[in-house]
Amino acid sequence: MTGQLSIAKALNEALRKSLESDPKTVLMGEDIGKLGGVFRITDGLQKDFGDDRVIDTPLAEAGIMGTAIGLALRGYRPVVEIQFDGFVYPAFDQIVCQLAKMHARALGHVKLPITVRIPYGGGIGAVEHHSESHESYFAHTAGLRVVTPSNAHDAHWMLRQSIESDDPVIFLEPKRRYWDKGEVGDDPMIPLHSAKVVRPGTDATLIAYGPMVKVCQEAAAAAEEDGRRLEVVDLRSLSPIDFATLEESVKRTGRGIVVHEAPVFMGIGAELAARLTEKCFFHLEAPILRVGGYFAPYPPSRVEETFLPDLDRVLDAVDRALAF
Amino acid sequence: MTVKSTARARKKAAPSVPDKQAGSGAAPELVQLLTPEGERVEHPDFPLTTTPEELRGLYRDLVLVRRFDAEATSLQRQGELGLWASLLGQEAAQVGSGRAMRPGDYAFPTYREHGVAWCRDVDPLNLLGMFRGVNHGGWDPNEKNFHLYTIVIGAQTLHATGYAMGITKDGADDAVIAYFGDGASSQGDVNEAFTFASVYNSPVVFFCQNNQWAISEPTTMQTRVPLYRRASGFGFPGVRVDGNDVLACLAVTRWALDHARSGQGPVLVEAFTYRMGAHTTSDDPTRYRLSEETEAWKAKDPILRLKAYLDKEGLADEAFFAEVEAESEKLGLRVREGVRSMPDPDPTLIFDHVYSEPHTLVDEERAEFVEYAASFEGGEHH
């Protein structure tokens, strides 16, 4: 299976392998059958596995989530596709009140091995409700696992690991990277919930996940031209968070900058900044800084570039961190 | 999965749909097999044969369930439970539908289905843990095919439907019953459950206990049409049954479950009944409903009418009634003592079962808590 694949194709292959390896795995979602999903992530799967395994659903997100829970209670392993980030809210109760809590409420007697795939984030010129980053809501909810890949290899293996997990996993797909290609190896390399240093450096640590990893890698490359060696850590998992890897990196570089698309206020970056400050205080040369979206609804696409962190905003934060 | 192939895959032993009940025309009669006066009547679409032993069994169920409920209400008043949602008045709807189930069938309750739990042989003490505050449910749903109580209104109807979809996939001939109230009929989840069950032809019976009140809101605040008629818009039959008539509830639910399990898809049963007490022990129904209404429903009491029938037909003697009474006393005592001796959980329960696989943040917080608790004198966390 090794070779250059787009993230979309890597995900498609992961779903195929999961359907092949476990007859209890079923896919559910709107338009995932003949159409192959609006992003074609499930392309060809219904043809090969049948409409009993790749299930087109009515247009009802709470219904999709709620019935997936019922199927899991019956012993199935549903992989749910939410068509776009902004459409997950109608399923919010089913995810945060039902899916997240049922295992604990039953004192461990039932398991809900459900993976909820959600394309998320902006940068594709979409209309309202098609560009949102809602990871904080889910990461804030105990009982859910939340992960997001940034490249084709991780997309493939993290999805397979998520489907194999006996816990519910919110699997966030960086939709503007769907068509980015990369090598997909035949070994996951690391556990699902480990962060990964994707570029070593010494002067500051850029912490990012999903769509922002590429921006940070580009920023690090640009900074290198000015003689600044930035380390880039791909968080990969938002619940749990691999703080050990982050702490090790920030203690070494003395500076940390968190970058995400979601609004900075109450975002994942707030948690990281607080935690790293607490754990790395005497190693820090500067406060942990955050770069992210503004505290505003995701804007119309003609101005989304203003909202989304870009190379300049990341490098500006690097300047501020290094100026301390 | 097409409706056709699903139906093909599943066992065919199709009882016919009673048209009178499925139609959307004029309001059909309430299905009734036992009048409030205890007269046995027949309904052409829902024949029921019962042995004297079965009838006595139903009577016993009704009495014991009411006793359990009364005991729980008292225990709340005595401070042993934080809250209680009484089923007073709804015993027949719950016992009738509960006794219609086969062992392989699965029930998804709200939080008031104590009578259904009783029929599924769930230990009544299990139901009290949540109301006492020692857990959020706690029993193994798969042990008796009785799911945990669900507080968010209507959410469980989707779980029931998904479970029923799984039954279809398994090619099994079991069925699912989803309980909800008249208030829940307004929820999106319930309507989405109707849609999913209908398009996938799933073996699920939606059992609505229309007890006339959603806390303080009357059914007229939820709907402008009789609730059982909702079903026709979704493409499956709906039946309104006298919810205070245990025989009618038994017959109609048995028919509905057979209909569902035979590959003919879902059914909506509206059990027309009345909540004699408060919504929960925190509620005060005197603020929103007239005592005349409650009095009128008292005359339709499910236990009195079955007792009248048993008396009239000589199907039970004094010894039987005394025996049930004694059993009821015993149950009351067991519940009382059971609740009072129910231990508080160890505080580390907070961290148990959040996930089924290790989660570093939970593990870390647990370790911090244990260390913190141990720092107190004696090392105890109380």
Question: In sequence order, what DSSP letters do the residues of B93-104 get, joined into one string?
Answer: HHHHHHHH--TT
Given this model, what pLDDT does residue B19 score?
Answer: 42
Q: Tokens for B310? A: 């048993």
Q: What is the mean pLDDT of residues B201-210?
A: 98
Instruction: Quote the CA–CA distance of B31 and B22 in Å, as a whole number.
Output: 13
What's the 3-state SS for A162-212?
HHHCCCCEEEEEEHHHCCCEEEECCCCCCCCCCCEEEECCCCEEEEECCCH
- For the ranges A81-95, A136-150, B18-32, B304-318, the lowest mean pLDDT is seen at B18-32
B371 touches chain A (CB under 8 A): no
B155 touches chain A (CB under 8 A): yes
Using a CB-CB cut-off of 8 Å, the residues of chain B touching A115 are none
Q: Does B10 have pLDDT greater than 70?
A: no
pLDDT digit string, tens, across residues A197-223: 999 999 999 999 999 999 999 999 999
B163 touches chain A (CB under 8 A): yes
Given this model, what pLDDT does residue B29 score?
Answer: 77
Select from B306, B349, B284 the least CA-distant residue to B57.
B306
Residue among B147, B158, B352 whose CB faces A66 most closely: B158
What pLDDT band is residue A54 in, cutting at 50, 70 and 90?
very high
Q: Does A123 have pLDDT greater than 70?
A: yes
Q: What is the mean pLDDT of residues A236-256?
A: 98
Q: Does B26 have pLDDT greater than 80?
A: no
Tokens 């029931």 locate to B160
Given this model, what pLDDT does residue B20 score?
Answer: 40
Active-site residue identified among B288, B355, B359, B372: B288
Given this model, what pLDDT does residue A2 score?
Answer: 62
- Over pLDDT 70: what percentage of chain A? 99
Select from A161, A228, A219 the least CA-distant residue to A188.
A161
Q: Specify whether the CB–CB gap between B262 and B12 falls below 8 A.
A: yes
CA triplet B276, B221, B293: central angle to 5 degrees?
A: 30
Q: Does B27 have pLDDT greater than 50?
A: no
Q: Specify whether the CB–CB gap between B257 and B101 falls below 8 A.
A: yes
What pLDDT band is residue B25 in, cutting at 50, 70 and 90?
very low
Q: Does B7 have pLDDT greater than 50?
A: no
What's the 3-state SS for B308-319?
HHHHHHCCCCHH
Given this model, what pLDDT does residue B379 score?
Answer: 60
Q: What is the mean pLDDT of residues B65-79?
A: 98
Q: What is the mean pLDDT of residues A32-54?
A: 98
* Phi, psi angles (nearest 5°) of residue B214: -105, 95
Pairing of strands A54-56, A25-29: parallel
B279 is catalytic: yes
Using a CB-CB cut-off of 8 Å, the residues of chain B touching A69 are 158-159, 162
Q: What is the mean pLDDT of residues A43-48?
A: 98
Q: What is the mean pLDDT of residues B186-206?
A: 98
Any residues with CB less than 8 A from the CB of B376 and at least 6 apart, and which?
none
Active-site residue identified among A103, A109, A129, A130: A130
Instruction: Quote the CA–CA distance of B138 and B144 in Å, as a whole number.
Output: 13
Buried b or exposed e, range B291-312, using 16+ CB within 10 angstroms: eeebeebeebbbbbbbbbbbee
Q: Does B2 have pLDDT greater than 80?
A: no
- For the ranges A76-85, A93-102, B3-12, B136-145, the lowest mean pLDDT is seen at B3-12
Given this model, what pLDDT does residue A63 score?
Answer: 98
Q: Specify whether the CB–CB gap between B231 and B267 falls below 8 A.
A: yes
Given this model, what pLDDT does residue B380 score?
Answer: 57
Mean pLDDT over all residues of chain A?
Answer: 97
What pLDDT band is residue B5 in, cutting at 50, 70 and 90?
very low
Residue among A70, A145, A241 whose CB faces B162 most closely: A70
Given this model, what pLDDT does residue A3 score?
Answer: 77
Q: Which of residues 89-128 of B touch A (CB under 8 A)?
A: none
Q: Does B4 have pLDDT greater than 50?
A: no
**Is the model's pTM score more than 0.80?**
yes
Instruction: Quote the CA–CA distance of B55 and B306 in Å, as a whole number.
Output: 8
Instruction: Quote the CA–CA distance of B42 and A294 in Å, as a whole number.
Output: 69
Q: Which of residues 16-45 of B touch A (CB under 8 A)?
A: none
What pLDDT band is residue B21 in, cutting at 50, 70 and 90?
very low
Smallest CA–CA separation between A245 and chain B, in Å?
13
pLDDT digit string, tens, across residues B311-336: 999 999 999 999 999 999 999 999 99
- For the ranges A231-240, B9-18, B329-338, the lowest mean pLDDT is seen at B9-18
Give, in order, the Cα–Cα distances in Å from B334 to each of B67, B72, B81, B110: 11, 11, 15, 24
Given this model, what pLDDT does residue B377 score?
Answer: 74
A153 is catalytic: no
- First vs last Cα of chain A: how many Å apart? 48
Q: What is the mean pLDDT of residues A165-188?
A: 97
